[in-house]
Amino acid sequence: MNKQIILLPGDGVGKEIMESAKLVLNVIASEYGHNFTFHQHAIGGDAIDHYGTPLPEDTINACQHADAVLLGAVGGGKWDSLPGHMRPEKGLLGIRKKLGLFANLRPVKGFAPLLHASPLKEEIVKNSDILIIRELTGGLYFGQPSERRENGNAVVDTLYYHRSEMERIIDKAFQSARLRNKQLTSVDKANVLESSRMWREIVNEKSKDYPDVTVEHLLVDAAAMKLITRPNHFDVIVTENLFGDILSDEASVLTGSLGMLPSASVRSDGVGLYEPVHGSAPDIAGKGIANPLGMILSAAMMLKYSFGMEEEAEEIEEAVQESLEQGYHTPDLQIKGGKQVGTKELTEIVVDNLTT
Ligand code: GGG
C-alpha cells in the first residue's frame, strides 16, 4: 500500500521520538512491501519560531490531504509569555478542530514487565485494560470568550457544547464498548454543571439504542479515585474534553509512565491524527532519554485504525512487549533487574525485535 503520512514533530522531545516512529515504520514498510512517504511540517512553538503562528496554513493543507498524521508534542517554557491565542498548544487544538477529530481514543493497558513500575500495588494494576474516550473539539478548551478582564484581575473561560457534539462522542463510546466488554462508564460533574446534566440525559437516551451495553454514571471526583484504586472496574470510559485530558494522564500511573501511552484522534471517516498522550517534556528535551514507546505505539494505532494494517500494528506491539521483557527501559520507568537505555538505543532494540 502507498500512504502519505504527515509528520508534525513539534517541540521538545517531540522531535526525538518522531525519529523513533519513522524508523519503526520504515522497517514495517520494507517487511510488508508498503510505501510510506513522510512529509514533515511545523506546529506549535516550532511553527511560531519559523512562521509566526502555531498552526501555519501550509500545515493545515498538508494534513487535510494526507492519509494520516503523526504528531510528537507541543509546548515549552520558551513560549509561556505569549498571549493565549499564540501559545504552542493552540496549534494542537487548532489542527484537531480543523480536521474535525472529535474522538480521542486513549487505550490504557499495562505491559506485564512494567507491573512493578507503577507506584500502585501489583494486585491493583494487574489486568487493567481501559479505553478512555475523550471528547476533543468542544468544551472549555474551545469555548469563547476565553479572556482576561478588568485589567487582568478577572478571567472568563466558556464551557459550550452543542447537543450534536455530545451525541456523536457518546455514540462512538457505545460502539466501542460493544467491541469490547460492553461496560460503559460515563464521567461527568452532574451535581454541579448544567453541561454535565445534558451529557447525562443524552447518555441515558442513547443507552436505549445499545441495550447490550451496561452503563453507569460516575462523578469525575469518584472516577479519579476509582481509576487508581480499582482500575479493573473499568472497560470503556467516556467523558468531555477537560475531564478526559486529566483522567487519561492520571491513568498513565497504571502503566508505569506517561511516556507509555499512545492515542488516536479520529472522526467518523477520513484522516486521523496519532500522538503520544505526553507533552513536550522540556526538562528532558535534547538529552536523548525520552521514552519513545508512546510514540511508537501511536504509530501502531495509525496502522490499525487509518490503514487497516492489523498484523503490522500487532507486530509493533509485540516488539515493544519483547523489548520490555528483555529489561530495556528509559529512565522514566523502572524494571527490576532491567537495563536503562536512551531513546535511540531503545528504538534500535524495538527495531531488532521487529526484524528477528
Ligand atoms: N502529545 C500531546 C501533547 O503535545 N500535549 C500537550 C498539550 O497541549 N496537551 C493538551 C491536550 O492534549 O489537549
CA dihedral 71, 72, 77, 80 (to 10 degrees): 10
Q: Give the distance (Å) from ligand 1 centre to CA of residue 1.
A: 30
Q: Give the residue among 86, 37, 42, 87 at the shortest CA–CA distance from 60.
A: 42
Confidence (pLDDT) at 101 = 97
Annotated ligand binding at 283? The verdict is: yes
98 belongs to the catalytic site = no
In whole angstroms, give the CA distance from residue 64 to residue 98: 8
CB 73 less than 6 A from any atom of ligand 1: yes
109 belongs to the catalytic site = no
Confidence (pLDDT) at 84 = 78
Confidence (pLDDT) at 122 = 83
Confidence (pLDDT) at 123 = 83
Q: Consecutive sets of 10 residues in the chain, 356 residues long: mean pLDDT of each? A: 97 98 98 98 98 98 98 96 89 96 94 82 86 97 95 97 98 97 98 98 98 98 96 97 95 92 93 96 97 98 97 97 96 91 98 93
> What does the block give as the cell for 33?
512491501
Q: Which of 43, 79, 82, 89 to probe ligand 1 with, by most ligand atoms within 8 A of CB? A: 89
Per the confidence metrics, is the pTM higher than 0.90? yes
In whole angstroms, give the CA distance from residue 36 to residue 276: 20
CB 245 less than 6 A from any atom of ligand 1: yes
- Please determine whether the domains at 1-102+262-356 and 119-255 fall in the same fold group of CATH: yes
Q: Give the distance (Å) from ligand 1 centre to CA of residue 75.
A: 8
pLDDT tens-digit readout, 308-328: 999 999 999 999 999 999 999
352 belongs to the catalytic site = no
Residue with cell 460516575: 218
DSSP state of 79: G
Q: What sections of the chain are H helices per DSSP?
A: 13-32, 44-51, 57-64, 88-98, 122-125, 163-178, 194-207, 220-229, 241-251, 293-305, 310-325, 343-355
Confidence (pLDDT) at 190 = 98
Annotated ligand binding at 287? The verdict is: yes
Q: Give the distance (Å) from ligand 1 centre to CA of residue 230.
A: 26
Q: Which residue's CA lies nearest to atom 1 of ligand 1?
A: 73
Q: Which of 55, 71, 92 to probe ligand 1 with, by most ligand atoms within 8 A of CB? A: 92
ipTM, 2 decimals?
Answer: 0.91
Topology of the domain covering 1-102+262-356: Isopropylmalate Dehydrogenase (3.40.718)
Q: Which residue's CA lies nearest to atom 11 of ligand 1?
A: 245
In whole angstroms, give the CA distance from residue 59 to residue 349: 32
Confidence (pLDDT) at 312 = 98
Confidence (pLDDT) at 125 = 82
Q: In CATH, which superfamily holds the domain spanning 119-255? A: Isopropylmalate Dehydrogenase (3.40.718.10)
Q: Which residue's CA lies nearest to atom 12 of ligand 1?
A: 245
Confidence (pLDDT) at 113 = 83
- The atom of ligand 1 lying closest to the CA of 141 is 13
Domain ranges of the chain: 1-102+262-356, 119-255
